[in-house]
Structure 1
Amino acid sequence: MSWWKRLFKGYGSKSSHRNGKTAVPQESPLDSGLERVLRQVSDLLGENDDLVIRRFSLFGQREAALIYFSTLVQKERIHQDILKPLMRIPAENEEVPLTQEGVLREILHYGKYQVTDQLPDVLEEILRGSTVVLVDGFPQGILLETRDVEKRSISEPQSERAVRGSREGFIEQLDANLSLLRYRLPNPDLTVKTFTVGTKTRSKVAYCYMRDVAQPALVREVEDRLQAIEIDGVLESGYLEQFIQDHHLSPFPQVANTERPDVVVSGLLEGRVIILMEGSPFVLMVPVVFAQFYQTLDDYTERFLIGSLIRLIRVLAILSSLFFPAIYVSLVSFHPELIPTDFAVAVAGGRAGVPFPAIAEVLFVEISMEILREASVRLPQQVGSAFSIIGILVVGQAAVDAGFASPITVVIVALTTIGSFAAPAYNVSISFRMLRFPILVLAGIFGLYGVMVGAVMIANHMLSLRSFGVPYLTPFSPENRRGWLDTLIRAPFWMLRRRPAFLHPLQRQRLGTIRKLKKEPSNTLDPMKAGNERREPRDGV
């Protein structure tokens, strides 16, 4: 049940008062009397200094009024395009249209407007920045789009940097974000549906999909989950993510978020559903699999050999950030015989003055590093980067000098921290940072056996996860060998002929059957050729 229907519920033929405000029924037609309508609007919207009710005479013959919030509209447009033509005094022999259809057709030259005879629609549009024209004797109100809210310019996303690619990112305005998608995907099959979420905030939410690609069952499921959200306020798309995900207690994200329009377009072309929200620059994509969180746009803009190498390095860095400290603690505390002799002597010499066991030493440095990282995030940008570098150097050196940690421990933790930054998705990086501590405790108690137990538990948990019904470890489990071409490595484009099978797209094929020239290419500028024009091989030199 929507906000206005709840507000207007319970109002009958007699007016009722709740909390000092007059309620109206769910289906409340506008009264033809101007004074009664203005009284109802004033009672429901309350006393606000930015609420403007401008009375005037329509062509000097009939009483009328404009209603709008001055903080949400473009005032110059109201004065020039609405008030000026409506308040004009007609010439002596001029016939003026005193009907609603005549005013819309001959006087108001507006591209976006709507007409309604319901009071709830009038109130909601006023709160969204529209201007309402009410005329005494007209049974309907004219809603004109005059919204003008300050917004920041489109700039490069701060959370997702690309070496090669677009420099445009989403902003907080929903219409601007939709225009970025339409600009990159001028296709009639791109479908946009909008509705509101939040009984108090009335946040505007839109979901998009390709009508000829996306699975209709997936679109219906997304719509049902979004429509089922009942909360008083939605301030960011992260609220929606927590409501629509499948497993609420899992540390791993089951909904992807991005600030890049090109990433969103690639998801639409694969058959995913995109969720945008007014007031948030982060766009949600569903469904997702784990392999998607370590892939970036740079993997596809570069040649496949370079993209595959960079992706493999990224995967190794992410895994090392999870297991590296635990393996170090296991080897030092339980399995020193597995360490080469020379290196074991160096480790023992470094830890000679440390009075704590390896597990306590690593935990101390890890917790200190997490505190420094969190503090640097909350500081201003100009100070945060310098503070993080200086803080790590000073605290690390001081810990070594004071005997709280050994140099090798500081190096291990530093490499682990750097490896966690290799994860493109910030939410996955946080998940691995959180799981690092229980694995570290298991390693301190059971050694390498504890590391293996932790790894098996994490793998079993990931095998049980679903994202809108899609197994989280697809295409590894369930097995899909064709999907392996775009997981740990990125195969050439001519091998990625089909869209991901786990999305069940309506159009499986995305690459044409003709993948090479019908004739062999002719190098016309080759110095061994007889000229610089295209010739047949038999022409010779």
Structure 2
Amino acid sequence: MAVIPVLRFPWSKQKKSGANEQARARHKSDEKQTDDEPFTENIEHTISYMRERFDISDDFVVRRIQVMGDTPAVAFYFPTLTNGGHQEAIKSFMTIGTRRRDAPEIDLKQELLNDYLFSCDGRTEETMAGVIEELLNGSTVVHVEGIKEAFVFCTRNVDKRSIDQPETEQVIRGPREGFIENLMTNISLIRYRLQAPELRIKINKIGKYTRSCVAVIYVDGIVNPALVEEVQHRLSKIEIDGIIDSGYVEQFIEDNHYSPFPQIQVTERPDKAVASLLEGRVVIMVDGSPIALLAPTVFSQFYQTTEDYAERFLLVSFIRIARLVALLFSLVFPALYVAVISFNPELIPTEFAVAVAGGRSGVPFPTVVEVLVMEISMEVLREATIRLPQQVGGALSIVGVLVVGQAAVSAGFVSPITVVIIALTTIGSFATPAYNAALALRLLRFPIIIIAGMFGLYGVMVGLILITNHMLTLKSFGVPYLSPIVPGNFEGFKDTVFRAPLWWMKRRPAMLHTPDKTRVGSQSYEQLERSKHNTLDPLTVGNSDKGGGRDGQSQTSDRDSSGDRHH
């Protein structure tokens, strides 16, 4: 078998002539017209076209081979994307030898596909545009002389990090697996947990240059078909050079772009994504991003976690109330402090007022300025802690809280009570599970403090009314943001402030308008309770072992039995 050496090596540095550069420039300006042209039977035309498009890149390889002993062919691939996977595809052509049948009526393409090519994912492509897209995706393309189509083999093999515990969502009880950057791996994590034939995955290509794969995942029969159509419609309208992260998609498809509140939930956990799919939501994932988008979203989801459904409902209800208290602390506690100290000091007890006045003696700033300075300093410190390396960031947070805070109090810039208020507020913001929701509350904290410094408690109430009114106007794919509270829904109240037992939540959220509304059998809990038996009850087990007695009463004791044996 004659094999012609490779025309272009990844490490080769060949000088391009001026004529070639001008030809490439002319081709680039006219690429929209030429990319859609079909393949020809001549491989020399294909080689010339591919060299004009890619040969300026040193990692593009063009390799000539012989098929069936005398038929010339050419293979194209990027070794940086295949990691050796192209070798098996080329080997399947080169090892055919001269085994071609003598029957001339047999089509060469069908003979290769059906009899000789042993790659399970081999197929053909008819246009140059399709071939170029496959090449850039990591596939190996082979064009055989005399065939108007190219053979495409999926040989993509890019290094990726291993599956690990998610960084943005700490796991207390649940699987320790998190999404990674590879889309196919993320889809496999979802299919592993949701082994249903109704699971649907639609992949879109978005980005003029990146051509990023954006997957829309849903469960057919549970999700409302209108929701899937709307998601696909919004994705189809995105025109941008590249999609680098799922956050790009989120900013395009959300309803209100000027609201500080997130209208799409994000997660790194496959179990959380599967739970959303079973409720009737849509999951959107981007190749290259470990963050999945869950739509539609309501506000109550941002202070709920996956562990809420794995623990008993009494404990979870208490924890949810604690989260809501922390949420209110992070939003209004500094503003209330400013309003009371500046306008209504008579509302606090006398002894506490004396203590506050003593602590504030010598502070040169009014309360509102003092609180704003401390809040801004805390935000700067928190941002610096996040951006620095982990080893340095931990030390900086300790130094900032202990040393800087104590030094500010000793120098008389702030009062001790202000440091306590800001510390409680910061801790409250950390208690919110969703980072983007906590960030919105941190942002809104500043205007409320300013209004409180100007109008006192009236300003705080007006600020809260404005925020609530804004949240009432928000929608996520048509779902009211404060559902199921406004509009009210009794079934939805079972999973808001309190979490009802799982067997009480028999229906999926009504706001999603799912075709299949039932998720828990109507009689499953009652049947389970009636069928329970105290199998290891010591009264019944002991009697059954001795073979006598009823209702927990034994006829003879061990001592009596032993005594009888002695007699």
Deviates more, 1:108-117 or 1:290-299: 108-117
Q: Secondary structure of the residue that 2:50 maps to in structure 1?
A: helix
Following superposition of structure 1 onto structure 2, how do residues 106-505 of structure 1 map, counting pairs within 5 Å? 106-505=115-514
Question: Does the 8 A contact of 1:259 with 1:281 survive in 2?
Answer: yes
3-state SS of 1:56 partner: strand
Q: Superposed, which structure 2 residues align to 1:6-45 within 5 Å?
A: 17=26, 19=28, 24-25=33-34, 27-45=36-54
Which consecutive residues of structure 1, in runs of 5 or more, have no partner in the other structure?
1-14
> Is the CA contact (8 Å cut-off) linking 2:494 and 2:500 kept in structure 1?
yes
Are the equivalent residues in 2 in contact too, given 1:112–1:144 (CA < 8 A)? yes
Distance 1:207 1:524 in 2: 48
SS at match of 1:191: strand
Task: Tell me the CA shift for residue 518 of structure 1.
Answer: 6.8
Structure 1 or 2, whichever has the larger Rg, is: 2
1:394-435 per-residue CA deviation (whole Å, 9 max, x = no partner) reads 111111111110111001001100100011110001100000
Aligned equivalent of 1:515? 525
Is 1:78 paired with 2:86?
A: yes
CA shift for structure 1 position 27: 3.7
Q: Aligned letter for 2:249?
A: L
The letter of the residue matching 2:93 is: L
> 2:214 is paired with a residue of what secondary structure?
strand
Please give the alpha-carbon distance, in whole angstroms, between the structure 2 residues aligned to 1:519 and 1:333.
Answer: 63
2-side partners of 1:242 and 1:32: how far apart?
46
The structural deviation recorded for 1:95 is 6.5
| Equivalent AA in structure 1 for residue 91 of structure 2 | K
- Higher mean C-alpha deviation, range 46-55 or range 151-160: 46-55
1:90 aligned residue: 97
**Inter-partner Cα distance in structure 1 for 2:543 and 2:289:** 56
Rounded Cα–Cα distance in structure 2 between residues aligned with 1:507 and 1:426: 32
Question: What is the SS of the residue equivalent to 2:410?
Answer: helix
- Equivalenced residue count is 525
Cα deviation digits, residues 328-373 of structure 1 (max 9, x gap): 1111111110111111111111000101110011111111000000
Deviations 1:502-539 (A, max 9, x none): 0001111110122133746332322222537699x975
Give the deviation of 1:87 after TM superposition. Answer: 2.2
Matched, 1:524 2:532: no
Deviation per CA, 1:33-64, whole angstroms, max 9, x where unpaired? 00001111111234111000011111321111
TM-score between the two structures when normalised by the length of structure 1:
0.93
How many angstroms does 1:18 deviate by? 5.4
Q: Is the 8 A contact 1:235 1:279 kept in 2?
A: yes
Q: For residue 336 of structure 1, what is the amino acid of its counterpart?
A: P
| Contact 1:215/1:271, CA 8 A, preserved across alignment | yes
2:86 aligned partner, one-letter code: I
Q: Deviations over 1:235-288 (max 9, x none)?
A: 110000010010011000001110000000000000001101000000001001
Is the Cα–Cα contact under 8 Å of residues 16 and 22 in structure 1 kept in the other structure?
Answer: no
Question: 1:392: Cα distance to partner?
Answer: 1.8
**Identity of paired residues, percent?**
52
CA offset at residue 389 of structure 1? 1.9
Shift of 1:540: 5.1
Distance 1:532 1:69 in 2: 76
Q: Using the TM superposition, give the Cα deviation of residue 386 of structure 1 relative to its aligned residue in structure 2, in angstroms.
A: 1.9
For residue 165 of structure 1, report the CA deviation from its aligned partner.
0.4
SS at match of 1:487: coil
Letter in 2 for 1:417: T
Q: Following TM superposition, by how much is the alpha carbon of 1:314 offset from its aligned partner in structure 2, in angstroms? A: 0.5
Structure-1 separation of matches of 2:444 and 2:306:
27
2:327–2:431 Cα contact (<8 Å) kept: yes
Conserved 8 A contact 1:190-1:209: yes
CA distance in 1, matches of 2:394, 2:99: 73
Deviations 1:199-223 (A, max 9, x none): 1110110001110100011111111
Q: Distance in 1 between matches of 2:429 and 2:257?
A: 23
Alpha-carbon distance in structure 2 between the residues aligned to 1:275 and 1:92: 48
Unaligned runs of 5+ in 2: 1-23, 554-567
Residue type at the aligned position of 1:107: Y
Per-residue deviation, 1:83: 2.8
Q: Is the 8 A contact 2:302 2:433 kept in 1?
A: yes
